Amino acid sequence: MNFDQAFEILIGHEGGYVNHPRDPGGETKYGITKRQYPGENIKEMTLVRAKDIYQRDYWWKAGCDLVPDCVKFDLFDTAVNAGPGAAIRMLQRAVGVVDDGVIGPKTMQALGNVDPERLDKRFNGHRLDHLNNLDTWPDFGRGWAQRIAENLMKD
């Protein structure tokens, strides 16, 4: 899987402009939030601009090109929802190394020693655990769980 393929799947989860009163991100379009990008005109955000942001700030920063294909999208999707550092820490817990948020030599070695399918299951378990512990789970948990379920059912 490459970034373009992952982006197409991601945009299937992310909608148009919303400003939900209980969403701590505030104004959101294509999943890009005003809280994270205060200098952006969220309401007028183009899909091309969103794609640039996703590649620069999420795909590359989370190290999505460094992981096995079966977990690339899940790592990217988690980076979008929780931030690249949190996504990397979940990945590190899934492979059993210190979760420092940096994909270094120990993480790379561990990635090479784990069955990719097992890694994907463990990673998504850590992701669900993370989401379930958020204060906003009562408001958004059903949607997050559905998103992960759809990701797990993808080919």
Contact 29, 16 (CB under 8 A): yes
Mean pLDDT, rounded, of the chain: 90
Model confidence pLDDT, tens digit, residues 108-125: 999 999 998 899 899 989
Check residue 136 and give its pLDDT. Answer: 82
25 vs 146: which has the higher pLDDT? 146
Rounded Cα–Cα distance for residues 74 and 106 (Å): 21
pTM: 0.86
Residues written for the chain: 155
In the chain, the domains with their CATH numbers are 3-153 (1.20.141.10)
Model confidence pLDDT, tens digit, residues 69-86: 989 999 999 999 889 999
